[in-house]
Amino acid sequence: MRYAMAIDTKKCVGCSDCVVACQTENNVPIGYCRDWVVEVTDGTYPQLEIEIRSERCNQCDNAPCVRCCPTGASHVTDGGIVLVTQIKCIGCGACITSCPYDARYPHPDGYVDKCTFCIHRVKKGQQPACVAACPTKCMYFGDLDNPNSPVSEILKVRKYKTLIPEAGTDPQLYFLI
């Protein structure tokens, strides 16, 4: 099993509903976020091209945050999801520094927090909060090992890219282009 997410940059309008859905679902403290929206503008007016991306932890296959964690609090769980065990985390910040995507943040309670692909919802057969809330239905979530999952289906027919693959992290967040 290998959970992954594909996000259609052609359909995303950057409304930030995914961000709010995540903050609500996961009780993210005010002023922090586990996912965010990036808007890239290329060119000079009037020849402008825009790409909107909803970003979060890339749940890397080769996760530097898991490698550098001195206590084993950062770990990979079923389906390749990278999680933090709160009572094992000492808040040293090594994982935050090790992430080329800056996807982790120090929770005010002391431990380090990040996107979990809403594993608590996925276990119940639901979709992650961001995917469920997306009004343009531009996000696809599922198991890459299952050829019929929504994410596998869409990656078969669309061109995609990952973010900073040259960092060697083997990211599992796919952006359809």
Partner 1 sequence: MREEIIVSGRNNNLIDPHLHIWHWQIPLYLFLGGLAAGILFFAAYFTIMRKENKYRTAVRIAPHIVPWILVIGLLSLLLDLKHQLYFWRLYTTIRLESPMSWGAWVLMLVTPLSFIWSAIHIKEIFPNWDWKYKILIELEAFLSKQKIILAWIMGLSSIVLGVYTGILFSAFNARPLWNTSILGPLFLASGLSAGAAVVLLLSKKHKERTVFARIDIGIIVVELFLIVHMFMGFLASTQVQIDAAELFLGGPWTAPFWIFVVILGMIIPIFLEVLELRKFKVPVVIPATLVLFGSLMLRFIISFAGQESRWLY
Residues that bind partner 1 (CB under 8 A): 14, 16, 19, 31-33, 35-44, 52, 64, 67-73, 87-94, 96-100, 102, 104-106, 109-112, 163-164, 166-168
Nearest distance from C-beta of residue 26 to partner 1, angstroms: 14
C-alpha of 90 from chain center: 23
Pick the closer one to partner 1 by CB: 21 or 154.
Answer: 21
Sequence-ordered list of residues with C-beta below 8 angstroms from that of 53, at least 6 positions apart, any chain: 7, 9, 12, 37, 38, 39, 40, 175
Q: Judged by CB, which is closer to partner 1: 25, or 153?
A: 25
Q: Closest approach of Cβ 45 to partner 1, in Å?
A: 10
Min dist. Cβ of residue 36 to partner 1 (A): 4
Let me know: does 94 contact 70? Beta carbons within 8 Å.
Answer: yes
Pick the closer one to partner 1 by CB: 51 or 153.
51
Q: Which CB atom, from 28 or from 144, has the smaller least distance to partner 1?
A: 28
Residue in the block written with tokens 């000079």: 44
Burial of 116 (0-12, 13-18, 19+ CB in 10 A): buried
Distance CA 10, CA 23 (A): 24
